A and B are shown apart, each in its own frame.
Chain A
Amino acid sequence: MIHIFSYRDNHYIYDTGSGALHMTDRETADYLRSKEGEEVDLSAISPEKIREIESDVESLVREGLLYREEVTTYPPKSTEIKALCLHICHDCNLRCRYCFADEGAYHSVREKMSAETAKAAIDFLIENSGNRKVLEVDFFGGEPLMNLDVIKETVRYAKAEAAKRGKRFLFTTTTNALLLDEETIRFFNEEMENVVLSLDGRKEVHDAVRKTVNGKGSFDAVIGKVKQFVQLRGDKHFYVRGTFTAKNLDFDRDVLFLADSGFDSISMEPVVTDLSDLQIREEHLPAIKEGYDRLCDAYLERYAAGKGFNFFHFNIDLEGGPCLSKRVSACGAGNEYFSVTPNGDIYPCHQFAGDPAFRMGSVFEKKIDGSLRAQFRDSCLFTRKGCEHCFAKFICSGGCNANNYHYNGDINVPYAMTCEMMKKRIECAMHILAQKKLAKE
């Protein structure tokens, strides 16, 4: 199938079968839209122009870059485990209103993971990783830095065990930055492939939701620490990651605030919450799409002025992107990626942690519930309802299992709100890709 879209009077054709992106003029876009069944007035298009369009189309079809048949099958999924999210601390030193993790406690007791459990998780990962050479561990919470000693011990242990087996670990930590200090930053720079720091943007936006235990805003307590981190991080990976809610649908201003604060690697995610004043609902979609449009314009303006920044959702790789297996199986939660809670219990991912229906085993039991795993292993882009008609399918891979389950009660039924935002971001990303390419010519 093809997807024709226009952005600020630029017209694009994306071919889902080949993954190719083309730019065109309004007449060609209109003509192809009419071919796709849309009602479009073609009276102004001359017969000569139509012959030209059809000749271009024929040529691209011959090259396999337009109307290419889509893949509908793929090789069986691997059962080798490649990544764990270690809930190193089910406690937090903040009380963010929208926290999906029950402000760190995950609807259970506040506790820290012991070094013994963390090491058992590392053993479990290595033993079940088959021929995988690159393994990943994400230190997650709650707030992981409340259990820094165990993180350090786990890193040392994982590296030593991996070396014995010819494997390599990539570590990530997600932190609210409250406990960051110079020594911890040095440790991160030595050991963490990626660090994700939570900061929601403008002070008033951040403080409205990201509260300390005493109910005060946390912006002033963390902004200096995040700046120090970024200054010392050099060219290593990090993301300053914000959450936007119904209270700041002008989230583009928060992204630009973060860029102006000197953070050049930014992610801003829609909130997942049941709180009615913060929850994003269908009526918010037009404002959110306008926000992405404004952000896209500002992104390109800054890029042209030599002040570009990296916005996670505006990245897209149409030339060297992921393989088909990845595009179809997405994050791999519940099959090649799992979460481990402080007591060693295994869940498909952090968003399912604490839900007894999704407990898949324990790192001490050394086995995983076969039937639950089969549900996740057998779920893929081709089992997702409605994805077959969507242009974004080979880019988004059918949405987040957890989002699908929490909103629709089924990991195979994508949440329409997420789909709408995803499609908008992908169109922005394609426009940016095209404009950057044209600027270089």
Chain B
Amino acid sequence: MLNYSLKRLASAIPTLLILITVAFFLIRIAPGGPFDSEKGLPAEIEANLEAKYQLDDPLVIQYFRYLGDIARFDFGPSFHYRDWTVNQLIAQGAPVSFTLGGIALILAFVVGTLIGVWAALKQNSLSDYLTMSVAMIGISIPNFVAAPLLILLFAIALGWLPAGGWDGSIQRMVLPAIALSLPMIAYVARITRGSMIEVLHSSFIRTARAKGMPEHEVLLRHALKPALLPVISYLGPAAAAILTGSVVIERIFTIPGIGSHFVQGALNRDYTLVMGVVIFYGVLIIALNYLVDLLYAWLDPRIRYDR
């Protein structure tokens, strides 16, 4: 197990390096620069700014200097939010995004699993079909459609919840968290249902039942753990879905998280901010996938012995 986890960890470093390199050069290739604006800047001021931010050096030198900086966890000053460094912006945005993403993730897994198990137990009944149809709709509706609908209903028509903004209060988290988790709830429900049905038809469950084990014990002690395996493996993609989803959700609900920094950073050609967020996202996804792999190996012994 230790050997396996170390091997997985070692592969993360080149992945991250490739990510950094590609992102660094891609954002620089994009036309337009951080200081282009409607009115533009006089040439001498632009030159001043470029010198200040060391943009006047050859790109390759800038690249290696950047690698050196990030090795010291210094992501540099933001080009757009000139009163802030990227470290400050991420430190300020990450807790917001984590809170939102965490709530959405928990919501998705708890609610999704419950629905999935329930549908599996009622397999091929009307309620099964109904839940799964709703789940299918949930998957199909993108969250940039669901979010405004939620705002329209709960913030504008009913006035129960705020339409946007963020101050750390529960009220402001409810709508964005639901909007973010909706497609995932549906996805988790479908996965759980499928694997649960498969497990319930397997021979070891038949054996357990034949021994006269009570049904709830069959479900909780024997069926649930193997049935959750595919759901666990969805954790990695789900985290990615949360990240990409939060980019949209944070904009719609005007939430000052990493996602909105990412979008605005790209639009503003805020090179350092975009890089900071890319690296942050990259580390996060790699870490989560690593965690999933370990979890998977722990849940299914075949995986750790195979390697």
B is a partner of A: no
- List the interface of chain B (C-beta within 8 A of A): none
- List the interface of chain A (C-beta within 8 A of B): none
